[in-house]
Amino acid sequence: MIRKIISSLLGVVLIGGSIAIASNIISANKRERPPAQKVVKSVFVLEAKNTAVPIKVLANGRLVAKRRVQLFAEVQGILRTSSKLYRPGQNYQKGAVLLSIDDTEFKASVQSAKSNFINVLTTSLADIQIDFPQYFQKWMDYLNAIDMDKPLPELPEFDSPQEAFFMNGRGIPNAYYNVLNLQTRLSKYKIRAPFTGSLAEATITEGSLVRAGQNLGSFIESGVYELEVAVPSSYSSVLTLGRTVLLEQLEGNQTYQGRITRINPSIDVNTQSISVFVEVESEELREGQYLRAVLDATPAENAIEIDRSLLVDQRQLYAVQDTLLKLIDVEVVHLTDQKAVVKGVEEGTLLVRKPIAGAFADMLVKIVEE
């Protein structure tokens, strides 16, 4: 009995000792946390000054040659070799031969028809001298003016109904217009440049068989281009014909002067924008090049211009009031890729000039000079 009591007492003592030792170990491992320090972020600010801010409407577009001609063949034959290779990039002056199709066979037909006309006119001269001697010299001079290697001269006018009846009865006008028709078709074997420019596309090469209706390429005027840009309909008041427009390269600092030549009268229902065509002349430009058009609109009164990245939800800005960040509501008047013009900011308000990572309302900040 005594032995059991002693064993129980020893067990209680051991358990109590273990608890005490464990408590000491836990107490030794506890460290007091230092008081949390308030984080104060440094900010750069600018003082709001409401002024008249110029509004510039920016719109990008692609240059297209103002004058472009798609070339098609109206006759059939082999494409001849000329002094210039028929290749893209070749330059031609107005009236120069772009391409020439072999016309040997058809030219013989023209000469045959011309010879037939001369024969009909010659056989009629004897009767003209007898029946209408007053008209004989006129037709004799016309016959002598005909050159087989040149187009027929214009047919003389008839001076009386009797002369007209006689000449029509002999088939002279019919033979003349037959030759004229063939001469017109013969001219289609040579395609000439309608204006000074360059070949933008060539779909055939010398020696190829050209068929009637075949696409032969395209020819564009050099140095004169049009830029189509879409401008928001709200700025329609600044769109007037003849207005000068500044054009900028998307990459680089080169600028050009253009002018508005055409305005689409209808508004795009999907984008609510108006298509404007700006003409620009420069030998440095190329078709397909992208440019930015800068249109000056009516300035925004009592407004400020800021970096677009400072806008919060496109309608608020951060301002500093008594070392705290505050969100203020603003009215966005105009937006560009990098800038924003806003109204509704009180004069002298200290606006945050650079974005703050993790910013929130009532955040503690410190104003620093840049």
The dotted CATH code for 74-102+189-213 is: 2.40.50.100
Q: Residue 274 CA to chain centroid, in angstroms? A: 14
Q: What is the pLDDT of residues 47-57, one digit of tens each?
A: 889 988 888 88
Question: Of the spans 20-34, 126-140, 178-192, 315-329, which averages the highest pLDDT?
Answer: 178-192
- Output the CA torsion sign for 68, 70, 73, 77: positive
Q: Can you tell me the mean pLDDT for 75-85?
A: 89
pLDDT, residue 11, reads 60
pLDDT, residue 34, reads 55
Q: Residue 68 CA to chain centroid, in angstroms? A: 15
Rounded Cα distance between 121 and 128, Å, is: 10
Homologous superfamily of domain range 58-65+224-298: Efflux pump adaptor protein, beta barrel domain (2.40.30.170)
Decide: 342 and 330 in contact? Cβ < 8 Å: yes
Decide: 242 and 260 in contact? Cβ < 8 Å: yes
pLDDT, residue 12, reads 55
- Output the CA torsion sign for 124, 126, 127, 130: positive
Question: Considering the chain, what percentage of its residues have pLDDT values greater than 70?
Answer: 89
Counting every residue written for the chain, the total comes to: 370
Place of tokens 């001849």: 80
- C-beta contacts of 299-303 below 8 A and 24+ residues apart: 299/52, 299/53, 299/54, 299/55, 300/52, 300/53, 300/55, 300/333, 300/334, 300/341, 300/343, 301/52, 302/50, 302/51, 302/52, 302/343, 303/50, 303/51, 303/52, 303/53, 303/333, 303/341, 303/342, 303/343
Q: Can you tell me the mean pLDDT for 304-329?
A: 87
pLDDT, residue 92, reads 92
pLDDT, residue 128, reads 87
Which of these ranges, 7-21, 109-123, 153-167, 285-299, has the smallest mean pLDDT?
A: 7-21
User: Has residue 188 got a pLDDT over 90?
Assistant: yes
User: Has residue 33 got a pLDDT over 80?
Assistant: no
pLDDT band for 233, please (50, 70, 90 cuts).
confident
End-to-end CA distance of the chain: 89
pTM assigned to the model: 0.65
pLDDT, residue 1, reads 56
Longest C-alpha distance within the chain, in Å? 179
For residue 93, which amino acid is it? Answer: Q
For the chain, what is the mean pLDDT?
A: 85
Q: 43-54+300-367: which CATH number, 2.60.40, 1.10.10, 2.40.420, 3.40.50?
A: 2.40.420
Q: Can you tell me the mean pLDDT for 204-224?
A: 92
Q: Can you tell me the mean pLDDT for 204-220?
A: 92
